[in-house]
Amino acid sequence: MKKNQNIQVQYNQLKTKSGTHSPSLATIQDFIPDLQIKVDACFLSNPYATELFLEYFKKEILDTGKINALLEFYPSQNQIIAGFIEQRLQIDSGHIFVANGAIEAIQAIIHKYCRGKLMITIPTFSAYYEYATKEHEIVYYQLNKNENYRLDVKDYIKRVNEEKPNTIILINPNNPDGGYIKYDDLILLINELNWVENIIIDESFIHFAYEDSDMALKSVVADVINKANVYVIKSMSKDFGIAGIRCGYAIMAKEKVKDILKNGYLWNMNGLAEYFFRLYAREDFLEKYDIVRRKYITESLFFISELNQIKNIKVYPSRANFVLIELLNGSTADKVTNHLICEFGVYVRNCNDKIGLDGEFIRVAARTQKENKIIIEAIKNVVEDKNLCI
């Protein structure tokens, strides 16, 4: 018990140091070697997709010795890699800015093209307000808790027309609540608000969303490609399970891509990322990927239904690979996350630094079936523990 208390103190110190992003698994293990983490349900990735990438990487790069060239030589330049994405998305590569993680594209767009007022829905992914500078004015659009933080499209359009921001930002499905804007509604919203100077749509979780049983992808990329004011942001970190190699891109007007690349980003991709984007263009890889995507969605749905059975919590409806959970037992997110990690080795996202959430919340990602069982048991134990209540 003493040892665990000590771990809890160390964990709190680390969390404070990390600010609005959670410490990575490696950082936690460096800082607290005694802590055994069994499941990382904080990071939001498809573990089966990571396995698939590794399978290819081993067979084609490691076992063949090609790893040597991949490390020794320069990777291709930004616009060459955009060519692989062009093959995949069937849109001209001139519209594609390849980024060292989607976060780089977010930073470039906000700093280069967004002036004046930014309207940001909250709760949200914190980079969108953290990357704003003193030249920006931020107005928040609070998602309504009584509507499970789902966007009310009509109300949103009304508010944008009143506030007249230069830039609006929507994440679909949203992080951290998994709220989903239906494809038809989003297209309507983009058309109604066509006067807005910059419309940023972040589709980083779109591979996990679905509208009917065929689980087809519902991206808006093809619909907005000719709109000079719309940007689509895409991270590959979560759906392909490869956050470590930093792959993302943004789709936008050709002149803007040209303008961004004029003063930099020539070699912002590394050899591993280039290999990934080459795979992204290949049919054999994508066929296999789509199988693990569907398998993961199906298992995640089961996981969410199991979480829904647990007492003392509210699980918010999600169309992503994670759920926002409100603690209803009088305990705090701090206590519950600490207990989950220190006693059960289950790492979840403590949402107490997220603006726009009213109450005590954690965010939990779906993992493999085996890991999901461990997560369920741990959460059950912790939220039913009377000692953890105030």
Candidate ranges 24-32, 96-104, 252-260, 374-382; the one touching ligand PLP (CB under 6 A): 96-104
Q: Where does residue 5 rank: exposed (0-12), middle (13-18), buried (19+ CB within 10 A)?
A: exposed
- Say how far apart CA 116 and CA 250 lie, in whole Å: 21
Cα end-to-end span (Å), the chain: 20
Measured from the CB of residue 123, what is the shortest distance to ligand PLP in angstroms?
Answer: 11
Q: Does 204 bind ligand PLP (CB under 6 A)?
A: yes
CA dihedral 236, 232, 300, 280 (to 10 degrees): -40
Q: Which is nearer to ligand PLP, 101 or 165 (CB)?
A: 101
Q: Does 103 bind ligand PLP (CB under 6 A)?
A: yes
Taking alpha carbons only, the member of 353, 347, 301, 352 closest to residue 327 is 352
Q: Does 248 bind ligand PLP (CB under 6 A)?
A: yes
Q: Which is nearer to ligand PLP, 130 or 290 (CB)?
A: 130
Q: In the range 135-194, which residues lie near ligand PLP by CB under 6 A?
A: 171, 175
Q: Does 102 bind ligand PLP (CB under 6 A)?
A: yes
Candidate ranges 95-103, 210-218, 290-298, 312-320; the one touching ligand PLP (CB under 6 A): 95-103
Candidate ranges 98-106, 188-196, 310-318, 326-334; the one touching ligand PLP (CB under 6 A): 98-106
- Say how far apart CA 285 and CA 278 lie, in whole Å: 10
- Say how far apart CA 70 and CA 76 lie, in whole Å: 11
When CB distances to ligand PLP are compared, the closest residue is 101
Taking alpha carbons only, the member of 316, 312, 314, 372 closest to residue 348 is 372
Q: Which is nearer to ligand PLP, 22 or 175 (CB)?
A: 175
Taking alpha carbons only, the member of 95, 140, 117, 80 closest to residue 268 is 80
C-beta separation of 112 from 260 below 8 A: yes
Taking alpha carbons only, the member of 217, 221, 177 closest to residue 321 is 177
Q: Which is nearer to ligand PLP, 183 or 249 (CB)?
A: 249
With CB under 6 A as the contact rule, the residue among 41, 179, 186, 202 that binds ligand PLP is 202
Q: Does 125 bind ligand PLP (CB under 6 A)?
A: yes
Measured from the CB of residue 6, what is the shortest distance to ligand PLP in angstroms?
Answer: 32
Measured from the CB of residue 238, what is the shortest distance to ligand PLP in angstroms?
Answer: 6
Q: Does 101 bind ligand PLP (CB under 6 A)?
A: yes
Name the 3-class secondary structure at 305.
helix
Q: Does 45 bind ligand PLP (CB under 6 A)?
A: no
Taking alpha carbons only, the member of 219, 245, 333, 277 closest to residue 45 is 245
What is the binding site for ligand PLP (CB under 6 A)?
101-103, 125, 171, 175, 202, 204, 235, 237, 243, 248
